[in-house]
Chain A
Amino acid sequence: MQLSLGPIFYYWPRQQVEDFYHQALASPADIVYLGETVCPKRREVHPSEWLEMAAPLAEAGKQVVLSTLALIESRADLATLRKLCDQSGCLMEANDMAAVELLSERNLPFVAGPSINIYNSASLRVLQQAGMMRWVMPVELSRHTLQGILEEVQQLGFAQQVQTEIFSYGHLPLAYSARCFTARNRNLPKDDCQLSCLDYPDGIPVHTRENTSLFTLNGIQTLSGDIHNLLAEYHDMAAIGVDILRISPNSSNTFQVLAQFDRIRRGETLSNQLIASDQEAATFCNGYWYGKPGMDFT
C-alpha cells in the first residue's frame, strides 16, 4: 500500500508549512496533499502558491495533489476554486460537490476527499463516471461497509478504475460549520477573527466537565478529541483491497508516525503502542473501523 500525507487542517505560519514540506521530501510518503481545506481567510500561503511549494515534492517523485475547501459558501470561494481548477495542472482533491462539478466539467480526473459522501457502490459509480479516480472513505464508515463496497465494485467491474484511500492516523475531521468556533472561543466575531487559528497549531482541545477528551476546535471545523489510529489494522486493510493510507499532519510527530507506518510496510512487526509521543498528549481511538462509536478504542 502507498502512504499519503493529508492536507494540513490547521493554520500554520508560512515558514512552518515550508519546513513541513521540506521534511516531506525525504519522507516515505508516496503522495502529498497540499492546500487549504478549512477556511478561505487563511492566506499565509496564497492559493496560487501551494503549487510552487509542491514542485520540489513532485521532483522528488511524490504524487502531488491539490486539496480544496470543504465548505464553499460565497461567490468569492467559488471563483477561487474555479481558478485553481483552471490553472493547477496537477491532480486535485474535491472536498465539496462544487469541485466535483468543476473538475468533471473540465474532464479532469479527481480524488474525492473524506467530506464527499460516498456510502455505497452506486454513489462511487456516479462519481467514477464523473472522473473520480480515487476516493477517501468518509471517516464514520466501518471495515464492514468498506468491504461490502469493494466487493460490489469488483462485481460491477470498475475496481481497476478507482483507488481506495483510508484516513488512518490523526484527529478525525467530524464537522464543518458556518460558525467559527475559534473566534467564538475568543469572543470575536467571525468577520474579525484576527486569524486566531494561527495561535493553535493543533487546534483547541475540548473536554467534558469530567475532563474526558471530546473534540478539537479548528476554526469552522470540529475534529475528534482523540487520535484515530489504524496502524494495527495495516495488514487487514491491505487484505481487503485498500490502496493508500492517509496520515493527517500535526505540528509535532507526523514524520515519526509516517516512519512507523513505513516500517510495517517493510515487514517489521510493531505494536500499536509505539507511537509514544502522541500517547502522552492524547489517547487513541479506532471505533469507526469496528462499527462502534468513533471515540472507542479496541
Chain B
Amino acid sequence: MELVCPAGSLPALKAAVDNGADAVYIGFRDATNARHFAGLNFNDSKADQALEHARRHNVRLFVAINTYPQPHNWSAWQTAVDRAAHLGVDALIVADLGVLDYARERHPQLALHLSVQGSATNAAALSFYQRRFDIRRAVLPRVLSLSQVRQLAAVSPVDLEVFGFGSLCIMAEGRCHLSSYVTAESPNTCGACSPASAVRWQETASGRESRLNGVLIDRFKAGENAGYPTLCKGRFKVEEQTYHALEEPTSLNTLALIPQLAEIGIKAIKIEGRQRSPAYVAQVVSVWREALDHYHNAGECFTPRREWFDTLSRVSEGSQTTFGAYSRPWQ
C-alpha cells in the first residue's frame, strides 16, 4: 500500500520524504484546498522546490484542489489546475464536478483522484466519477465500516485510498456545513473548518472557555486538556445532559488494521495533517513507514509494536485514538 503523506510547507514535505513517504500531497496558497490556513501551503517557487525534492527521492507529488469554487472565484480554481498541470505533478486531488470537468477537458493526460471532499461512499457514485472524468483513484470518506470498505473494494471501478491516521471528521466529508452555520466559512467554500480567526479563548470563574464566533463550544476545569474548538467536538446540552453530543476530541488510528486493509485491496493509506508541524509529520510518517515495512516482511504474522502506539498517542488530539467508523460499535 502506498503511504500518502501531508505537507503544508517545504520543511514538512522534506520530513515526509525523508521519513519514508511514497507520495506527498500539498496545496497551493489559497482557498483552492481544504487546509487554507494562514502561513500554510505552497506558492509557485515552493511548489517547484517541492516537486524537485520529491522527484530526487523518487516520491510522487499530488496537489489537492479539493474545495468548491463559486462564480465570483471560479477562475482561481482554473488557475490552480493549470499550475499543477504545468508543474507536472503526479495527480490532482479534486472534489468539485466543475473542476473535474475542466481538468479532464483541458489536461487529458493528467491523473485525477477524487478527493474525500467529493463524498463518494459507494460503487455507483464512484462509477459516475470514473465514467465521466476517468478518475484513477478515490479517497473514501471516514464513514464506512471495515466490512463496508471490503464490500466496496471488491467492486470499485477505481483504486481506493483510505485514511489511516490523523484528525477524525465524523461527518461525511464534503457534506458538512456545521462550520459555515456558525462562522460563515466551511471546508467546501473556504477550505477551513471552525476557522482560527473565529476562535476565542477566555479565562472565567467557571473555567477556561473556548468560543467560535461567540458560541460557547466548551468549558474546561483546571487541569483538563483544552482541545481546539472544532464544532463537532464541543460539549453541549442535550435533554439536560451536557456531553460531547457528537464526538470526543480524538484521532483516527488504523495502524492495527494494516493487514485487513491490505488484504481487502486498498491501494493507499492517507495520513491527515497538512496543518501540522514538520516534527509531527516526521514522527507519524516514520512510524507508519516502519509498520508498513514490517507488514511487508511479516505478512500474516504482523503484530503492531507498542512503541508505535505510544508515539502516535503522544501526538493525537486528546491523546486518544480510535478506529472511528471502521469499527461498528463506534458508530
Contacts and interface: CB of A to CB of B under 8 A. Distances in A.
Interface stretch (B45-53, B232-240, B259-267, B311-319): B232-240
Contact of B101 (A75, A126, A174): A126
Contact of A222 (B121, B125, B171, B216): B171
A119 B120 contact: no
Contacts of B142: 178
Interface in A106-121: 115, 117-121
A123 B215 contact: no
B61 interface: no
A160 interface: no
A31 interface: no
A118 B236 contact: no
A72 interface: yes
Given A148-B72, A204-B238, A222 B175 contact: no
Given A97-B129, A214-B236, A222-B246, A73 B98 contact: no
A115 B175 contact: yes
Contact of A209 (B172, B174, B235, B324): B235
Interface size classification for chain A: 35 or more
Contacts of A73: 121-122, 143-145, 148
B97 A174 contact: no
Contacts of B234: 208
A24 B216 CA distance: 40
Interface in B125-184: 125, 127-129, 131-132, 142-145, 148, 151, 170-172, 174-178, 180-184
User: By DSSP majority rule, is chain A's interface helix, strand, loop, or mixed?
Assistant: mixed
Interface residues of B, number: 71
Contact of B143 (A139, A178, A217): A178
B155 to A, nearest CB: 8
Contacts of B245: 181, 184-185, 206, 215, 217
A122 B124 contact: no
B39 interface: no
Contacts of A215: 178, 236, 245
A122 B122 contact: no
Contacts, number: 226
A43 B264 CA distance: 32
Contacts of A138: 177, 188
Interface in B182-230: 182-184, 186, 188-189, 213, 215-217, 219
20 contacts: A73-B143, A98-B123, A98-B128, A101-B131, A117-B95, A126-B97, A126-B132, A130-B132, A138-B188, A151-B71, A176-B176, A177-B143, A177-B170, A208-B216, A208-B237, A217-B238, A287-B184, A288-B180, A294-B180, A295-B215
Interface of B: 68-72, 74, 95-102, 119-125, 127-129, 131-132, 142-145, 148, 151, 170-172, 174-178, 180-184, 186, 188-189, 213, 215-217, 219, 232, 234-239, 241-242, 245-247, 324-325, 328-331
Given A175-B178, A181-B246, 17 more contacts: A71-B175, A102-B124, A104-B128, A115-B175, A120-B96, A121-B71, A145-B72, A175-B177, A179-B246, A179-B330, A189-B331, A206-B245, A208-B216, A209-B237, A294-B182, A294-B184, A295-B215
